[in-house]
Structure 1
Amino acid sequence: MPIPILTDTAMELRHLRYFRMLAEHLNFTRAAERLYITQSTLSHQIKQLEEEIGLELVTRKGKTIALTHAGQHFLASATRAVEGIDNTLRELKSFQQPLTGHLVIGATHTFSIKLLGQYLALFVKQFPLVKLELLELPAQEIENRLVDESLDIGIAYTPSASEALWSEPLFTESLVLVTNREHPFATRKRLRMVELHNQPLVLLSRTFATRKLLDGYFDQVKIKPVVVAETNTIFPIIHLVKTLPIGAIISERAIPDEADLHKIILQDPAPTRTAALLWKKNRHYSQTALEFAKLVKENY
C-alpha cells in the first residue's frame, strides 16, 4: 500500500527517530529506555505519527508489537531520511573544524613541474594541518593506484583506460612540435601534421595516453614519422631534441624555461589533450580531498 504524500505536515525528526527505535526493539518499554523518555511519551508520539500519516504503522496486542505492511515501508524511508540528515550534520560540523588528515596525490610529470607547486603552496597555506604527499607517476600507475586506493586523487590526461574511474575535466591544451635552433623546421611558426611524414621524432612510450593520442592523429592523416627513440620521461626527450636534429611533440608546459627550444604550432589537425582530475567511482571522499580539488579547479 503506498504511503500518502504529505503536505504541511507537523511530522518532526524526533518522530522518525522514535519510530526507528520502536521498530528495532518491538517493545515500547525497551525503546523508551533507549530514548531516555517515558513509555507513555513514546506511545503518544507514535500515535501522533500514525495520525499524521493516516495509516497504522504498528499493531499492538498486549505487550506484543509488530510492524504493519505500511510500517515496514515507512521504516525504510524513515531510515534513509534520518541517516541522510545525520550524515549531513556530521559533514557540516566538520566544516567548523580545521582540516586535518593525510592526502596522497598522483600527478604526471607535466603537472608536477609547472602546476602542482602553486597548488600545493596555496593548499598548505590554507590548510596547514593536512599532510600532503605528492607522487610523480605515469598515467597508468596513477589509474592503478586510484583503483587500489593507495592514491586519493589523480591528475592526468584523459581518456582513462579504467572503467572504475571517472574524470573531471580541467582544461584542454594544444601539443606543439619542439626542435632545437638548428633544425630544418626552426624557421617555421606553423606546420601541418602531414609534413611530419618520415620526419625523425622522439616520443613518449606507447603506454602513455598522450602517445596513444598522437598515434591516433598520425593514423588520421595517414603518416608515419620515424620514431628514433621512445622514453617514459620528459627529460631525455628534451636532451635529445637539444642535441640532435630531431623533433618532439609535447605540451608547452613540459618545456623547461631554460631549454631554449623552438616551438612550432601543429595544425590540420591541431593535436590537443584534456587534463583532468581522476577519481575512483563509488568511493567516499574526505572533505580534505574535496577542498584540494576545489582549489585546483579554481586556480588552473
Structure 2
Amino acid sequence: MELRHLRYFDAVAETLNFTRAAERLHVTQSTLSHQIRQMEDELGSVLFDRSGKKVRMTEAGEILRSYMTPALEQIDRGVQALRGEGEPLTGRLRLGTTPSFNTRMVPSCVATYMHHYPGIQVTVEELAAGMIARRLAAGHLDLAVSYRPTDGGDLWFEPLYNEELKLVVAASHPLARRRRVRMVELHHVRMVLLPAQFQTRKLLDDCFEAAGAEPLVAAQLNSIAPMIELVRQTELAAIIAETAVTPAADLRVIPLEDPTPIRTPGMLWHKGATRSPSIKHFADIIRRAAGQST
C-alpha cells in the first residue's frame, strides 16, 4: 500500500462521493475507484458501502480512518516543516453559519474542536446564506455550515442531511394541541420569521404561496434564539428546524404538511483553498454531529 492510496481513501471518506473526491484529487473517477478497490483487496476488507444511492463508510473503513487520519496529519506537518510551512500550534479557524445551526449544533462542534486544538482561535460569523457564499469566495471564511448557493461556481457544497422545518408555538397557543398543521392553516396567523434575505425565509415564502396562505408577519429577527424567546413570551408562531429548539415544557413543536418545508444543510468551502489538517478535523466533527441529527 502506498501513500497515494491513503490520500485517495481520505478524500473519499471526507466527501463520501467518488465524483467530488476524484475532482479534488485531479484524477478520473475510474482511476480513483480502481485504487480504492486495490486498497480493499490488499486489506481484505470493504471500506465503502456503494450499494445504495449514497456512499457510506463500513465499520472497517471507520476503523482504518480513526488510525489513518492522525498519521496523515503528522505526515503533512512533517512535509510543511521541511518546506518552512510547519503548522503552528496556534492559529485561527473562520467559520460561517446560518442562525439555525448556531443555536446548538455549531457551538457543540466548536467545543469538541477546541478540546483537540486548544491553541487555535475559532471565529464564528452568523450570516445569511448569500453573505456566507460571498465571504467564502473572497477568502474571508475557511468553512461554512449553510445551504447550496444559487451561484456556487467557486464553492464546494457537501450535503449533510435533509431536515423538516416545523411550527413552534407557546404551550398556550391555539395550535399547541395539534398533532400536525397544514400550511394553509397559517393564513393570517401572527408569526415571527427570518428576514427576506435568508434562504430559509425564501423557502417558507414559496411554501406559503403554494398553500395559498398569507401569514401576518408581526416580527422579523435574524437569529433563531431570540425568535424562540419571542415565541415563548407572546402569541406569535415561528417555523424553525426542530434541532435548533431545546425541548421545554412551555413550547410545542408541530410538524407541517401540504407542503412540508424541507431543506438540505451542508458544508461549503472555496474550491481553491488549501485545507489544513485542523480544518479537515473540524469538518469531520460537523459530519459526526450531522449524523446524530438525522
Band of TM-score, shorter chain = 0.5 to 0.7
Deviations 1:229-288 (CA, angstroms, capped at 9, x unpaired): 222122442233223322111112232445721111101221111111111233332232
What is aligned with 1:16?
none
Deviations 1:177-236 (CA, angstroms, capped at 9, x unpaired): 111122211110111112112222221100001001111111222222222222212244
Greater Cα shift, 243-252 or 126-135: 126-135
* Amino acid aligned to 2:75: K
What is aligned with 2:157?
167
Deviations 1:32-65 (CA, angstroms, capped at 9, x unpaired): xxxxxxxxxxxxxxxxxxxxxxxxxxxxxxxxxx
* Amino acid aligned to 2:277: Q
Any runs of at least 4 consecutive aligned residues in structure 1 with deviations exceeding 6 A, and if so which?
A: none
* Amino acid aligned to 2:175: F
What is aligned with 1:180?
170
Greater Cα shift, 229-238 or 201-210: 229-238
Gaps spanning 5+ residues in structure 1: where?
1-89
What is aligned with 2:257?
267
* Amino acid aligned to 1:272: I
What is aligned with 1:227?
217
Task: Assess if the C-alpha contact under 8 Å between 1:171 and 1:274 holds in 2.
Answer: yes
Give, in whole Å, the separation in 2 of the partners of 1:278 and 1:139: 10
How many residue pairs get aligned? The number is: 211
RMSD of aligned residue pairs (Cα, Å): 2.5
Task: Assess if the C-alpha contact under 8 Å between 2:171 and 2:249 holds in 1.
Answer: no
Task: Assess if the C-alpha contact under 8 Å between 1:106 and 1:154 holds in 2.
Answer: yes
1:292 aligns with 2:274: no
What is aligned with 1:154?
144
Say which of 64, 75, 95 aligns to 1:93: 75
Q: Percent identity?
A: 37
Give, in whole Å, the separation in 2 of the partners of 1:238 and 1:298: 26
How much has 1:131 moved relative to structure 2? 3.2
- TM-score scaled by structure 2? 0.64
How much has 1:296 moved relative to structure 2? 1.6
1:250 aligns with 2:232: no
1:195 aligns with 2:185: yes
Which structure has the larger Rg? 1
What is aligned with 2:43?
none
Paired residues for 1:198-209 under 5 Å: 198-209=188-199
Task: Assess if the C-alpha contact under 8 Å between 1:202 and 1:247 holds in 2.
Answer: yes
Paired residues for 1:18-167 under 5 Å: 93-94=75-76, 100=89, 101-167=91-157
How much has 1:166 moved relative to structure 2? 2.7
Task: Assess if the C-alpha contact under 8 Å between 2:128 and 2:199 holds in 1.
Answer: no
Give, in whole Å, the separation in 1 of the partners of 2:236 and 2:157: 34
Give, in whole Å, the separation in 2 of the partners of 1:222 and 1:173: 23
Give, in whole Å, the separation in 2 of the partners of 1:234 and 1:161: 25
Greater Cα shift, 211-220 or 242-251: 242-251
Task: Assess if the C-alpha contact under 8 Å between 2:100 and 2:240 holds in 1.
Answer: no
How much has 1:129 moved relative to structure 2? 4.0
Q: SS in structure 2 opposite 1:171? A: coil
What is aligned with 2:39?
none
Gaps spanning 5+ residues in structure 2: where?
1-71, 79-85
How much has 1:162 moved relative to structure 2? 4.3
Give, in whole Å, the separation in 2 of the partners of 1:125 and 1:235: 25
- TM-score scaled by structure 1? 0.63
